[in-house]
């Protein structure tokens, strides 16, 4: 098994960035989902209610973020603020970037502000199947999402029109594994380079998979078909969630083409 592609999403819900090399931090890939659009109540705005996020290209730079040409600095201070990835999730300390308020509000057609997770090492414990000191960026629940090309091929074999892997917004895409082999890795570990990753649980898929990541158009697939044959424990499963076996301050490097081994 090898890494076929690597991806990050600097602002939660935005268009992906593709990489040949990525750095793994304890809470996710470097530069991945440290920023998030939030509403007036501080709740994250996602593609579920704002498909226009698919058209937003966010590129990290040292000390800030480029949003389709708008240059935003990492907020250095300001009044204390909190945000929630979902309304039911616990609040996490963030810093707000007022310079992006008008831009985001115009893009999304609603009141929106830009939040930055300044210190992921001190915030957002992982809520399930994790160690007490595990942390996550502004992803839905886990630091890294891994998917398999063979599983996508098996799914597309059931669809009238195939969908690309981009619908599932993975961080790591594998080649060389059998279809649905990832089901057997849950509770074990994978080794990529010098770093091991705990396979915490299957990824439960949502309406975002029905949104074309290039156009923002909504459909019904592949979620409808997943519901027919991948319903497990009350969820529709595609891919698995990983937690890096790293302590704060430690990092690992992964590359496209690198071997992936199941080690437990």
pLDDT at 164: 98
Q: Which residue has the tokens 């595609």?
A: 238
Per-residue pLDDT for 9 more than 90?
yes
Per-residue pLDDT for 181 more than 90?
yes
Mean pLDDT of 136-149: 97
Q: How many domains would you assign to the chain?
A: 1
pLDDT at 74: 97
pLDDT at 52: 96
CATH assignment at residue 148: 2.40.33.20
pLDDT level of residue 264 (50, 70, 90 thresholds):
confident
pLDDT at 78: 81
Please tell me the least confidently modeled range out of 74-83, 109-118, 177-186.
74-83
pLDDT tens digits, residue range 81-140?
A: 999 999 988 999 999 999 999 999 999 999 999 999 999 998 899 999 999 999 999 999
pLDDT tens digits, residue range 214-252?
A: 999 999 999 999 999 999 998 999 999 999 999 888 999
Mean pLDDT of 248-258: 95
Q: What sign for the dihedral angle of Cα 159, 5, 130, 167?
A: negative
Per-residue pLDDT for 157 more than 90?
yes
Q: Backbone phi, then psi, for 196, in 5-degree steps?
A: -105, 155
In whole angstroms, give the CA distance from residue 69 to residue 201.
37
Residue-number span of the structural domain to which 107 is assigned: 2-262
pLDDT tens digits, residue range 34-68?
A: 999 999 999 999 999 999 999 999 999 999 999 99
Estimate to the nearest angstrom the gap between the alpha carbon of 256 and the chain centroid: 18
Please tell me the least confidently modeled range out of 9-13, 15-19, 74-78, 90-94.
74-78
Mean pLDDT of 70-80: 91
- Rounded to two decimals, what is the model's pTM? 0.96
Per-residue pLDDT for 77 more than 90?
no
Per-residue pLDDT for 27 more than 90?
yes
pLDDT at 122: 86
């Amino acid at each position: 098994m090898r890494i076929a592609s690597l991806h990050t999403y600097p602002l939660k819900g935005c268009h992906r960035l593709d990489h040949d090399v990525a750095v793994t931090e304890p809470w996710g890939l470097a530069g991945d989902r440290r920023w998030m659009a939030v509403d007036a109540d501080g709740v994250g705005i996602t593609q579920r209610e704002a498909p226009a996020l698919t058209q937003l290209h966010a590129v990290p730079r040292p000390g800030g973020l480029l949003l389709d040409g708008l240059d935003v600095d990492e907020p250095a201070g300001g009044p204390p603020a909190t945000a929630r990835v979902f309304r039911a999730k616990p609040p996490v300390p963030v810093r707000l970037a007022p310079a992006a308020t008008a831009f985001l509000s115009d893009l999304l057609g609603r009141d929106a502000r830009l939040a930055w997770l300044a210190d992921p090492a001190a915030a957002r414990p992982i809520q399930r199947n994790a160690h007490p000191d595990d942390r996550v960026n502004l992803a839905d629940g886990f630091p890294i999402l891994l998917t398999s090309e063979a599983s996508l091929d098996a799914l597309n074999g059931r669809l009238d029109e195939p969908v690309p892997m981009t619908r599932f917004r993975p961080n790591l895409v594998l080649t060389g594994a059998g279809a649905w082999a990832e089901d057997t890795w849950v509770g074990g570990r994978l080794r990529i380079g010098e770093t091991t990753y705990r396979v915490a649980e299957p990824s439960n898929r949502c309406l975002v998979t029905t949104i074309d990541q290039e156009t923002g158009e909504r459909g019904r697939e592949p979620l409808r078909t997943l519901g027919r044959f991948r319903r497990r424990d009350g969820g529709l499963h595609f891919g698995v969630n990983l937690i890096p076996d790293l302590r704060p301050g430690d990092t690992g490097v992964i590359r496209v083409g690198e071997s992936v081994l199941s080690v437990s």
